[in-house]
Structures are given as structure tokens and as C-alpha cells.
């Protein structure tokens, strides 16, 4: 699935398609997994993956990165307001209660978002930016969306394309 993601994102970057990358990580999944057992944890991950796939638009891409991380490539998001609305809608979808192992689970997630723009160096770079934003969302308490921006780039020591030229 990761290979398909890299291929799809690379094609979008090379064709100049406006795309946003959302890296999604379940909050406190390890605690739930340890409490419920790994088989129930795996069922929860499958449920979340299915919810994401059925909640995105037909031309978007949703998949699992690994562990409890998922990714959505949202195509043609015209502005930050629409992008945030889409990301918060996904938080709602993920947060719907789930019956697993005889328990009714309520869970949250943190989402990091990075936009693909002109001069985006590679698929791995933009996934990395979204990952940095996701960890910032977790550091701020979780269950929220953070967009990778210049302030976050500077706080992490990452350099922009303009600085590298």
C-alpha cells in the first residue's frame, strides 16, 4: 500500500495536480491495543481503514501507512478552509463508536496536513511534512488537525525550496 501511495503522489506532483496529504494517527492506540489484545486492535485498524476509504471522494486516495497511521490524498482542495473542513470531517468519521471485542470503543485521531504545490521536491518530502504536522497535533493534545506551514517548518529546522535554491 505504501508503494501505491508513493506512486500515486509522485504522479500528482509531476502532473501539477493540487493535492493535500493528510497523515492520520490514532490517539492512544497502543493503550487500546494492549487492553483489548492485538486481534481486536487489528480489527479496529481494518474498521478505520474501511471508514476512510468509504468517506473520501472517488478521486481521492485513502490507505494505511503502517501501524496505526493512515494517509489520505485529497485532490483539488481549493483553499485552507475547505481542507480543514475535510480533515475535521474525517476526524468525525474516525471518532464514530466501534464495537470491538465486546467493547464499544470511542477513539480520536490526530491529523497532519501538507499541501503539494509548485516546487514540491518529492512524494517522500510531502509525506514527511504531513507527518511533522501530525506529531505537532499530537503534541498539542491530539484530536485535532495541524497544517504544515512556514512556522512549523522553521520550528523543526526544515528548509524550504526557496532557501535551497
- The parent domain of residue 96 ranges over 2-164
Burial class (CB in 10 A: 0-12, 13-18, 19+), 62: buried
- Most confident among 11-15, 20-24, 120-124 (mean pLDDT): 20-24
The helix (run of H) or strand (run of E) holding residue 79 is: none
* pTM exceeds 0.95: no
Which of 27, 60, 68, 131 does the annotation list as catalytic? 68
Within 8 A by CB and 6+ apart from 141, the residues are none
Tell me whether residue 25 is one of the annotated catalytic residues: no
Supply the CATH number for residue 32's domain. 3.30.70.270
pLDDT at 26: 97
| pLDDT digits 0-9 by tens, 29-51 | 999 889 888 898 899 999 999 99
As for how many domains the chain has, the answer is: 1
Amino acid at each position: 500500500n505504501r508503494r501505491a501511495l508513493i506512486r500515486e503522489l509522485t504522479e500528482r506532483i509531476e502532473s501539477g495536480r493540487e493535492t493535500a496529504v493528510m497523515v492520520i494517527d490514532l490517539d492512544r492506540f497502543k493503550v487500546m491495543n494492549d487492553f483489548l489484545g492485538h486481534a481486536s486492535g487489528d480489527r479496529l485498524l481494518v474498521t478505520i481503514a474501511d471508514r476512510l476509504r468509504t468517506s473520501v471522494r472517488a478521486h481521492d486516495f485513502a490507505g494505511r501507512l503502517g501501524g496505526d497511521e493512515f494517509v489520505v490524498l485529497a485532490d483539488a482542495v481549493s483553499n485552507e478552509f475547505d481542507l480543514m473542513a475535510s480533515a475535521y470531517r474525517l476526524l468525525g468519521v474516525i471518532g464514530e463508536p466501534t464495537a470491538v471485542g465486546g467493547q464499544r470503543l470511542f477513539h480520536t485521531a490526530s491529523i497532519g496536513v501538507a499541501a503539494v504545490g509548485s516546487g514540491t521536491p518529492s512524494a517522500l518530502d510531502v509525506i514527511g511534512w504531513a507527518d511533522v504536522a501530525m506529531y505537532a497535533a499530537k503534541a498539542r493534545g491530539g484530536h485535532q488537525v495541524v497544517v504544515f506551514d512556514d512556522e512549523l517548518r522553521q520550528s523543526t529546522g526544515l528548509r524550504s525550496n526557496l532557501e535551497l535554491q
